[in-house]
Amino acid sequence: MEDVRTFLHFGVLFSSVLFTTGAAGEDYFPEAMDVQWVSNNFKTILTWGPEPTNYTYTVEFSRVGKDRQRNPHCIRSSRTECDLTNELRNLQETYSADILSEPLPGVTSDLVEFPYTRAERFSPYKHTKIGGPAFKIVQSEDKTKMTLHIQDPLTPLYKDDQLLTIRDIFKNDLKYRVVYNKAGSTGKKEKMSDLRNVELTNLDKGQSYCFMVAAYIPSRSAQKRLGDWSRAQCSPREGKTIFEEFSFGVISGAIGIMLAIFIILITLTVVCCKRCCCKKTKTVDKDNLQMSPV
């Protein structure tokens, strides 16, 4: 009888272990990994991985020290990114965010707290990346001064139904760094400007100059002050010689064609002259024959 009780006791314990293991397996949700803020010109997206299979992700965010909130598009979702651009409206505040691993919609779980991964703290004003601005080169009449008309990059944020530029947000904290050099030269010069119209003087007349521009935010940390560089643009060059304008091969080809035409013209002239001389000789001979006595 004692053996039977012992056997039943171990059987109950074994079943309990199996049940517990099975329940834990059903409620196992992998934590999010590689959590990153991707923010360009204040367009801010939180990304992570891996792709979920039998579970979902929910994003919770808040200003540091404030109540947590949820984006309705990022609750029990199978996506691995969440656009928080419109939620992070207080741009100079610092935010925190958690990515929770939760059951599929409609599925219950015995877990009291779901696994989560916390993102690094993020401040749009301090951390968003500023893209390279577009600009236009305008040259003065005397060719010794150029002005760069820089276009402040747009953001996806609105105020009074108008898209805001980075200048609307940074105001006097926004500067532009300009680097330039003569076309074909490696020596570079630099100028910092508070304005978006940058005037460059004392340039060599008639020379072509190449320019690149980047936004500069001095209040940021050293790693975040400089934005992306723009695409390089070069001004036109005035008063080029034929040897600067065209390659040696093109010039040689043109000279060869001109020589060929010159030779053909001389040849045609010589042939025409010979024919004319022959005609005159024949005419003179005929006249002499008619004048000779019979």
pLDDT in tens, 124-146: 999 999 999 999 999 988 878 99
Strands of 197-200's sheet, edge to edge? 134-139, 146-151, 197-200
Structure tokens at 94: 């610092």
Domain boundaries, the chain: 2-126, 134-235
> Do 2-126 and 134-235 fold alike per CATH?
yes
Q: Which of 19-28, 162-171, 197-206 has the highest mean pLDDT?
A: 162-171
The tens digit of pLDDT for each residue in 229-288 reads 999 999 987 655 555 555 567 677 778 788 888 788 888 887 777 776 666 555 555 555
Q: Which CATH architecture has domain 134-235?
A: Sandwich (2.60)
pLDDT at 17: 37
Question: Helix-strand-coil percent breakdown of the chain, rounded to 5?
Answer: 30, 30, 40
Q: Which CATH architecture has domain 2-126?
A: Sandwich (2.60)
> Percent of the chain beyond pLDDT 70?
81
Q: Which residue did the predictor score with more confidence, 233 or 185?
A: 233
For residue 88, give the nearest of 163, 33, 37 by alpha carbon.
37
Q: Which residues are registered as beta bridge partners of 234? A: 210
- State the amino acid at position 17 in one-letter form: V
**Model-level pTM greater than 0.85?**
no
